[in-house]
Amino acid sequence: MKKPGDTPPAELSALELSPTTNADLCAGCSRCCETVSIEIDKPRTNHEYDQWIWVLHHENLEIYLEKPERWYLHIESRCAHLNSQQRCDIYGRHPVLCREYDPRDCERRAPLSDIVAWFKTAEDLEQWMAKVRPAHYKRMMAWRKDTVQAPPRADARKDRATAMARALITIAEPAPRSPAREAVLNARAPKQAKRRV
């Protein structure tokens, strides 16, 4: 007789597991509703490595590598439909991707043994390249050195802010008027005052 916690027969696919079985298998865990992983292109060229290094300069974005070679972008982000009881609020109309995810061989049960490297920062990826792909690392570093330096974005923003401040000062402080221009404006002044009454 089937007891709670029994593993369902292996021949059943994830889509054939009942909601109760799914809930039993996932009891106390909601990990896969709190992260997003998206497969990304394998880097080979300087531009491709540079792109993922740029991504890793951003907060909450990580990359991992599986064997055989598959690269993933990993984002810590809780699904908006995971409720306070750690259950799916849209169960029954949740994405097929969620339905097909099999809790019998998910990351909770099977250690993610296929993962061979995890990069939390750009430095992690650069260090990995230096160690595992030294030729690519050397080529990328030479390419970086040879590429024209642009000002860092922070400085560029500062330059823009200074230019904007100068423009505002110019608007606030118009150029001194010539005596002829002063005379024209004085002649118009009573008419303008009259209109405002």
CB of 102 to ligand SF4, least distance (A): 7
Q: Which is nearer to ligand SF4, 30 or 51 (CB)?
A: 30
The set of long-range contacts for 9-13, using a CB threshold of 8 Å and a minimum separation of 24, is 10/104, 13/102
Q: Which is nearer to ligand SF4, 95 or 151 (CB)?
A: 95
Closest among 92, 93, 76, 96 to 33, alpha carbons compared: 76
Q: Which is nearer to ligand SF4, 4 or 152 (CB)?
A: 4
Find residue 36's DSSP bridge partners.
75
The rounded distance, in Å, linking the Cα atoms of 145 and 147 is: 6
CB of 74 to ligand SF4, least distance (A): 14
The rounded distance, in Å, linking the Cα atoms of 195 and 174 is: 25
Q: Which is nearer to ligand SF4, 93 or 145 (CB)?
A: 93
CB of 83 to ligand SF4, least distance (A): 8
Q: Which is nearer to ligand SF4, 107 or 124 (CB)?
A: 107
CB of 14 to ligand SF4, least distance (A): 9
* List of residues contacting ligand SF4 (CB under 6 A): 26, 29-33, 79, 81-82, 88, 90, 94-95, 98, 101, 103, 106-108
Strand, helix or coil for residue 72: strand
Closest among 117, 135, 144 to 47, alpha carbons compared: 144
The rounded Cα 176 to chain-centroid distance in angstroms is 52
